Each structure stands twice: as structure tokens, then as C-alpha cells.
Structure 1
Amino acid sequence: MQGLSQHLTQEASANHRRLELAQEYFRRACDYQGELIQKQQQWQKNILFANATPVEPLNTCINISTPPKIHTIIATDGSQIAPSHHEIAYCYLLNIGRVILHYCQNKHPILDSLPEIFYRQEDLYISRQWGIKTEEWMSYRRTKSEVLTLVELATSIEKEIPTLAMVDGSLIYWFLEQLSSDARQHILPPILKAWRQMQDAQIPVMGYISASRSIEGMNFLRLVACPHPSPDCMSFCHNHKEKLPCQVFESLRDTSLWINQLQPGQRGPLWRSNTRILDLYEDQQIYFCYVHVGAEIARVEVPEWVIKEENLFDISLRLMLSQVYKGYGYPIAIAEAHNQAVVSGRDKTHFFAFLEQQMIKAGLKNVGVSYKEARKRGGIA
């Protein structure tokens, strides 16, 4: 523990020096933003690190105003019971928490969850053909279910009232990079279709990321630090074995920079993500910005159509910030969706006990857990 505390102290000091350097490069980037974007676009295919494009001046600081009194917030979040060969049956359960909060409308909220059990062969083993474990595939299906449940809720409410649909986490599904094209077809197209339904209903969808670890914005500053005539990583740095000159911001996150640029209740500039996985998103490109929500710098992401629709992005930010204030630092609708979705150890025990009853009622014999699981549940201590 003493060694850990000393290490963290040293890291904090080093990060402070890196941050001072990053702020200097940030000021230079503000002066040459147009030229940097031109270089970025010209050499994007040869740049070997993920970087985003600012679509507003880098020094943008916009105050977020108060939301309309009458509005609606929708949120979903998911949890699961993972499959285990030591349980009485090999299956898994997805539980999607659903929340609709109506403000100043004299309507009851929706606070519940939608559980679904997967037990058929095609559900359990379809991912094996792509080299994906069932446990991993379960989490991918959960992501899809969260979005599909969100659009079901969104299309069930009145359209005239300002509404925001929120999910916990990024709208950029990084895990898709490691999937084959066939596996992606089971996950991404349904999500994109759901987003288009949200677009037709004019209900913006937003991903809220707390404690973001993204470095896409910080990597834009690496274009300033590049010592070469052009940011052509493939030609100049592809076989570079030492630390690259542009890696002076290594280990710094985007939030490290914006904590000193923004005041509580302000947002920074809009960025367009250039991560390669977005090539699969068709017309649903992802934009993001950082918002000082008081307790932290949060990253919020929206599809491109939310940016292009007049006032839609502005109202989304106003509703989002109101949710954070109501939740004392974190959007209350997302927190409640999580609370509805979470499956506790007691819930898991009840689930398998009920499943055991149903199996015995159906006439199955020798129903029970493995000897290993039984022994673990009955310790001598």
C-alpha cells in the first residue's frame, strides 16, 4: 500500500507537468485550428492514433440554460445472470431496467424491468461459430436489448413534449471492431434501425459517459506536436521503436484538459469522432462534447441527426444537465434504470430456485447443481 501511494504521488506530479504542456499546445491549436483540420483530413488514413475533429472553435465555452418545465426523460440499462455449467441449467438471463419520468405532467412514472431468459441452442451457441464465448455474446445482446427497449418506450409517449432518451455509456460500440462481419449483422443493424425510429419521432438519444477515459480530443493536439512536415505516421513513425515526439500527452485524458477550460454548467466544443468502427454506422455518425456538470467533466454523445436538427441538441443538453442536478452528480433516470436492472445475489438464488421448481414440475429428474457448486455454497468457516 505504501508503494502504491508513492507511485500515485509520482504519477500525479508527472501528469501535472504533462497537463501544463498540453495547455500550451491547446493555445497554439486554437490559433491554427483550420490548418490542423486540413492536415488531419488530408492524412487521416495514415494517422495511426484515434483522433476527433472539432467542428466548433476549440475555445468554445457555452452556458447551458435551464430546461423547459414540462418534459420527459427515458432511460434504460441492463444486467444479467451469466451462464454456468455448474448450475441446474445452462442458460442466461438479461434484465433491462426501464424508466420514464414525466415532469409537471401529472403522470405516473414507469420504473420496472423487462427480463428475458435464453436457453435454446441457437441462443447459447450461435456465437461459437465466430469464436466468441457465450458470456461475451450475452453482453453484446444486452447492449442491443437496451437500445431496442429504449425505442419501444420512446415511441409509446406523446411526441409534442420535449423528451430525451438516455443510455449509460458510449454510443460508439468499440467491441464491434473485434467481431466478424456476420456477427456484427446480429448487433449493429437493429441498433441503427432503432436510432432511425428515434429520428422519425424526433426524440434525441444520448450516451452519457461518467469518468470518461477517451483521448480522442487530446490526440488532436498531437497534430501540433508532430515534428514532421505532415502527420504521416505510416511513413515517418511506423517502425519507430522509441517514444514518439507527439506522445508528450501520454496518459492524459480529454477530461484533464477541459476541467480547466470550463465552468460548471458549460459545454465545450462539438467534436466528430473519426474512429474507424464508425464507417459501419452509415448515416448515424457520432458527435460528442464535454460538459462541466459540477461534480466532474462528463462526455455526452449523440448521433449526427441530433446535431443537424434545429435546437434539438440544445434542448438535449438542457434536459441532461437537469437530470444530473436532480441525481446529485449523475443523471437520475440512468441511475434508476440501473437500480431496476441490477440482479443481486439473492435475485439469482430465487431465479434458479424457481427454475428448479419448474423443471421438477415438468417431470425432470436429478435436478441439481454440480458437486463443485454445492461444496462452494456450504463452507465450513
Structure 2
Amino acid sequence: MLDLTKLMRQMQGLSQHMTEEAAANRQRLEAAQKYLEKAIATQDELVEQQEKWRDRIIFANATPVEPLNTCIDIPVPTKVHTVIATDGSQIAPSHHEIAYCYLLNIGRIVLHYGQNRHPLLDSLPEVFYRPEDLYEARQWGIRTEEWMSYRRTASEATVLAELACQVQEELSTAPVPILAMVDGSLIYWFLEQLPSDARNCILPPVLEAWEKMRLAQVPLMGYLSASRSIEGMNFLRLIACPHPVPDCMTFCPNQQDKVPCKLFESLRDTTIWNSQLKPGQRGPLWRSNSRIIELYGEQKVYFCYVHVGAEIARIEVPAWVAENTKLFDESLGLMLAQVQKGYGYPVAIAEAHNQAVVRGGDKARFFALLERQMIKAGIKNVGTSFKEARKRGSIA
């Protein structure tokens, strides 16, 4: 039980810290805006430097493929269109439950607008209980709980591609704009820390799903709310560099605190684009240079920032979507309409989450069903551990 009386003693220090941090952020933003003005005037030179010294730069930085002062109004979408989304949830494995297994639940959403068609709102559950599912990742030093979340990422992409191809085929007689959306980034940063054998179990199914959507010409989009990315800010570090060339390994091997370019480390991309964009506008398109993208082959990832009204959202798309201007603009229009319908967040993604989420009652019913099946199979002494049973029925 939380003691609010004791907690209140810490609130004053927290509020004071946040006030000081807000003032510091305003100063950093003012400095960043000045560097942005300089970068706009010398953008081509900076991109050349970035490409030439990319192997010597020690911080992740993206490449702008449009002028840095780009502010484009997003077009209004057609009334007739379809939006698809998936999201996942899970029941984690526990040695205290009646059986050591885990469950993935992938929510599926298909919303048709202006077509007099019924929407699809359901989920696809899958139980993993075989030894190869539960213990395969142990050989790479990965806990089952972590491996479960990685498997969920691959399943979300696979289900989305299957759904996109199915919807595209259904609408082939009367084609309409379609958008496939996922919650979160298309850049799977967690793959960097995985051994190659483990990555090969997760990434290929994802890229195969993306390729299916490319062939079906259903644009894929990742929507990031409250993004913490600094890839764009790190590009400005090139112009803030006090050295003749941005050779970090030679000039700044220890990342000294007084290096001017470190000004941007605590400043997010969304902060500066919030001062540049108006509601309904997008900023310049960027190409991500994350090292993990090198494993994607031809499936490079581009992103931009959009003022959706309530916030600055980061929008990520594969290269084939970004390079098709008409398709990209159309997709952004559909995305913005989804945000407006969802009162600040895409309604399709929110509903996919609602379909996928496993609540406490669902978890209890899952294990009750499992218990009945185990008893029916003749297994004796079926039940939770004393610890779990005690936690569920406190006498305090």
C-alpha cells in the first residue's frame, strides 16, 4: 500500500527539479534553433561530411533527404478508404502457475470508410508450450520473457501482412486507398544486442511480411507517440562540431562533457519540430542510418515528424513508400484522419490494442481452461504454487 503522506515529502524536490530542467531545455532549444538556421544554409555540405566521416562518427544520426526548412501541409484524404492495424499482448510464463507456458494475442483491425462494409475487430491467440518455444532462446542467454516479446513483434508483422493482402484482394474489383499501421517503430533497436542466430529467427519473417505488403502496394506506417528519438538533433551536432572534420574517434574519444555538440543530447527531435510546424503539417523526410538498418537489405526506413494537433508524432515508413510521393502523401492524409477520429491517437491502433490486451479476468479464464484440460488428460496435483495462491488471497 502506497503511503501518500511520506511520498508528499519528496514532491517538492521533484517539482523544483522539473522547473530547473524546463528552464535548461528552453536554453538548449534556443541554441538548437540557431544551429538549425545555419544547417539550412549549409545542408548539402553537412550531408557530404556526414557521408564521408560516417565511420568515424560515434553517435546515431539521420540524413535529411529534403530541405531542413520543409513544412508541408498534409492533404485531406478521400472519404472512401480502408485502414488496417495490428497490435499484440501476452501472458508471460511463470513457474508459479499451473503450467509453464506463454500466450501471444494479436489484435486485428480493419476499418472501412465510405464503403458500407462491416469492420473487422478480433484477435488471434496462440499458446507456446513446447520445449523449443520455451527454452530455445536460453542458448543465446535470452530469457524466455524477452524472447516472447521478440516473437510477438514478428507475429504482429506477419498477421498485418496477411490481413493487408486479404483486404487488397477483397477490394480489387473497386480499389480504394489502404493504409496498414503499427504502434511503434519500424526500426527494431533490440536486434542490435541479439546474436546473429537469434536475429535470424525474428527479422526474416518481418522483412518477408514487409515485402508482401510492397507487392500488394499496401503502404506500411509506424506511428510513434511521444517519441524520444534524437536522430535529427544529432545531425545538427555536425554543424556544432568545433573541429575541422567530425572525426569523433580522433578528437573526442572520451566524449568530454564540455564538447559543444553535446548540447543536443538531451533535446528530442519533437521539441524543435514543435517550434517549426503548424497543426496538419509535416517536416522534412529523413533516412535513418541506424546500424541495425544495414541488416534490412533493400528495406530502408525513412521518417518524418508530423504536427497531428495534440503532439508531434514521428512517422516511419519503408523506403518504397517514402520514394512514392503520391502514395506517401496519401498515407499521411489517412494517418492524420485516424488521429482526428481517435481524438489525438490513431483509432485503428487504439482498437487493435484493445482487442489484443489480456486483462486479469482473461488471464484467470485462460488458466482455468488449461486446468480443466490437464485434469481431463489425467494429470494430478494441478494447481498454482503456494506463493501465488497466498498472494491472491491476502488476509491483511
Structure 1, 155-164 or 175-184: larger mean CA deviation: 155-164
The 5 Å alignment of 1:12-91 reads 12-91=22-101
- Post-superposition shift, 1:243? 3.6
Aligned residue-pair number: 381
**1:326 matched to 2:336:** no
Q: Deviations over 1:118-161 (max 9, x none)?
A: 00000000100111000000000000000000011101112421
Q: What's 1:104 paired with?
A: 114
Q: What's 1:135 paired with?
A: 145
Letter in 2 for 1:84: S
Determine the C-alpha separation between the residues in 2 that align with 1:366 and 1:47: 60
Determine the C-alpha separation between the residues in 2 that align with 1:307 and 1:299: 14
- On the 8 A contact 2:279/2:307 being kept in 1, the answer is yes
Q: What's 1:380 paired with?
A: 395
Q: Deviations over 1:54-105 (max 9, x none)?
A: 0000000000111011100000000000000000000000000000000011
Per the alignment, in what secondary structure is the counterpart of residue 97 of structure 1? strand
Determine the C-alpha separation between the residues in 1 that align with 2:259 and 2:161: 45
Determine the C-alpha separation between the residues in 2 that align with 1:258 and 1:195: 29
TM-score, reference length from structure 2: 0.95
TM-score, reference length from structure 1: 0.99
- On the 8 A contact 2:230/2:265 being kept in 1, the answer is no
Distance 1:250 1:240, change over 3 A: closer
Per the alignment, in what secondary structure is the counterpart of residue 53 of structure 2? helix
- Post-superposition shift, 1:307? 1.5
Determine the C-alpha separation between the residues in 2 that align with 1:66 and 1:319: 8
Letter in 1 for 2:268: R
- Post-superposition shift, 1:310? 4.5
**1:294 matched to 2:294:** no
Structure 2 segments unaligned to the other structure (5+ residues) = 1-10
Two-structure CA RMSD over aligned residues (Å): 0.8
Structure 1, 271-280 or 153-162: larger mean CA deviation: 153-162
Structure 1 segments unaligned to the other structure (5+ residues) = none
- On the 8 A contact 2:87/2:182 being kept in 1, the answer is yes
- Post-superposition shift, 1:240? 4.3
Among 108, 127, 144, the residue aligned to 1:117: 127
Per the alignment, in what secondary structure is the counterpart of residue 166 of structure 2? coil
**1:188 matched to 2:203:** yes
- Post-superposition shift, 1:378? 1.2
Among 147, 150, 174, the residue aligned to 2:189: 174
Among 233, 244, 249, the residue aligned to 1:218: 233
Q: Percent identity?
A: 72
- On the 8 A contact 2:107/2:354 being kept in 1, the answer is yes
**1:208 matched to 2:218:** no
Per the alignment, in what secondary structure is the counterpart of residue 221 of structure 1? helix
Per the alignment, in what secondary structure is the counterpart of residue 36 of structure 1? helix
- Post-superposition shift, 1:239? 2.9
Per the alignment, in what secondary structure is the counterpart of residue 368 of structure 2? helix
- Post-superposition shift, 1:245? 2.1
Q: Deviations over 1:164-195 (max 9, x none)?
A: 00000000000000000000010001111110
Q: What's 2:243 paired with?
A: 228
Q: Deviations over 1:320-370 (max 9, x none)?
A: 000000000000000000000000111111111111011101111000001
